[in-house]
Amino acid sequence: MKLCLILVCAALLPAEAKVLHRGIGLVMCSKTDQELFYGIDGEQVYHIDFTAHKGVKTLPDFGDDYIFPKDYELSLARMEVCKVNLEYWTKNDNDSIDSLDAPQSSIYSKDDVELGSKNSLVCYITGFYPPQLRVTWTKNNINVTAEAKFTVYYPNPIDGTFDQISILSFTPEEGDIYSCRVEHAALDRPLTRIFDVQVALDPVSFHSDAVFCGVGLVGGLLGVSAGIYFFIKGNKFN
C-alpha cells in the first residue's frame, strides 16, 4: 500500500501566555483513504469528515474555541495535491517498500462495571504503520461493529507510528463477553482482546493479567489517558 503524508508542525505562543504549545497538521491520502486533521499539544482539535463534507471540532466542551473558516473547501485542494504527489512517488519509486509496525491493543471499561448500568468499552490501538487497519467488535460472538465509534488515525511524534481509539457503548449483563479484534498488514494473525463482564465484576480478577491481556501496555496508557478523556468528553468521532 502506498501512502502520502504531508505533515506540518508549528510552535504556538498565545498572546499574554508564557507556555509554548505545539501544533500539528496532517494531510494523508492513499488510493482508498484520505484524512486531514489538526492537533495541539498531542490532542486532536479538528478534523475533516469527507463523508459528511464538513469539518468537525473534537475539543471538549470546556476547551478554547478554534475557528477554521471554509476549511472543508481548502481541504479538497490539499487532497488533490496529496494525490498528485502520491501518483508521482508511486511511478518513480516502485522499488521502495513501506516499513510495517504491528499494532498493540488493550480493552477496558470507561467506568467501573455495574450490571444494568450504561457504560463504554474502550479499545485502544497503538504503534502501527501504515495507518490502515480493520477493527471488529463482537458481543457473545455476534458482530456489533456497526454500533462502535472510531477516532481518526493520530500520529505518534516519537516514532512516526499511529494510534486509534474505538468506543462501544454497552450495558453490562452477567455472562456477556465482548471482544475487540484488530487486523493489520504487519500482523500474521488478528489481534484480539477480550472483556468478560463476569470477570470485571470481581475486584480481584479485574486487575489480573487475564482481564487486560495486554497488561504490559498499562504504563503507556497512562501517558495517553488525557487524550482518551478529551476524546470521550468531546464526543466527536470520524
Give the Å distances, CA to CA, from 201 to 42, 53, 71, 195. Answer: 33, 43, 46, 11
- Under 8 Å between Cβ of 200 and 206: yes
**Most confident among 7-21, 33-47, 125-139, 217-231 (mean pLDDT):** 125-139
The full set of domain ranges for the chain reads 4-92, 104-234
What is the secondary structure of 145-190 as a DSSP string? GGGEEEPPPEE-TTTS-EEEEEEEEE---TT-EEEEEEE-TT-SS-
d(CA 138, CA 136): 7
Q: For position 213, what pLDDT does the model report?
A: 41
Q: Which CATH number is 4-92 given?
A: 3.10.320.10
Q: What is the pLDDT of residues 182-230, one digit of tens each?
A: 999 999 999 999 999 998 887 554 444 433 444 343 344 334 444 443 4
Query: What is the distance in angstroms between the CA of the first residue and the CA of the last residue of the chain?
Result: 22
Which three cell numbers, joined as nine digits, stand for 148?
462502535
Q: Which residue is it, cell 499574554?
A: 16
**Which H helix or E strand runs over 23?**
strand 21-29
Mean predicted confidence (pLDDT) in 137-145: 96
Q: For position 225, what pLDDT does the model report?
A: 40
On average, the pLDDT of the chain sits at 74
Whole-prediction pTM value?
0.59
According to CATH, the topology of domain 104-234 is: Immunoglobulin-like (2.60.40)
